[in-house]
Amino acid sequence: MLQAVLFDMDGTIVDTEPYWIAAEYRLVESFGGTWSDEHAHALVGNALIASAEYLREHGGVPLEPEEIVERLLDEVVRATRDAVPWRPGAVDLLADLGRRGVPCALVTMSYERLARVVLEQLPAETFGALVTGDQVADGKPHPEAYLTAAARLGVDPTQCVAIEDSPTGIASAEAAGCTVVAVPHNVPIEAAPGRHLIASLQDVTPDTLDAVITGRTQQSRP
């Protein structure tokens, strides 16, 4: 029943959020502004342009949103090239899904040049599709990114599991019709019907994801 698994990247597969937060602090402070972890956590999972607009408003960064995005990306790409901070269990789960022949897609609001840094550290066949923030018109929480990933894999989004770590990403996946496995990390995630909260990807196996989809399908039958 499980047709594919659609993975968020930042905070889910790799713990790049500290890189983003450090870059935000440096950028805001370089213009004499002040930043906070509360502001930083408000941006987790957002489209980068939306985050840039937030930085202009709340951090006093007097740059166009596109330039803000590029400056942040420059720093995060450099840091990720130096050390890819894998989340516990992520690489093992991807390998297990590959051995089972389960298609996977990477669905991230980071731009392609950062996603490629992560993909370079994985076997080439790990992901059958890549959707990045610079490839969609509407970022998360809009469902476009997840609908695009399912379409590129040729699967039904309602038969896919999306693995996410942020409320914004979860809203996107649920709006696309995916079943969500949420792995909270930097920000809390509330329980909700049909949403599966798991402490770590170390607790997730292909059988876990099969059971999630099978349970949903059985519950939806008349």
Instruction: Report d(CA 87, CA 76) in Å as an integer.
Output: 16
Q: Are 105 and 131 in contact (CB under 8 A)?
A: yes
In 45-132, the DSSP E strands lie at: 104-107, 129-131
Q: Are 145 and 109 in contact (CB under 8 A)?
A: yes
Both structure tokens of 196: 């599966």
Q: Which of 8, 15, 37, 210 is catalytic?
A: 8
Q: Which of 10, 15, 37, 138 is catalytic?
A: 10
Closest residue by Cα to residue 139 from 69, 67, 48: 48
Is 8 an annotated catalytic residue?
Answer: yes
Is 15 an annotated catalytic residue?
Answer: no
Point out the residues that are catalytic: 8, 10
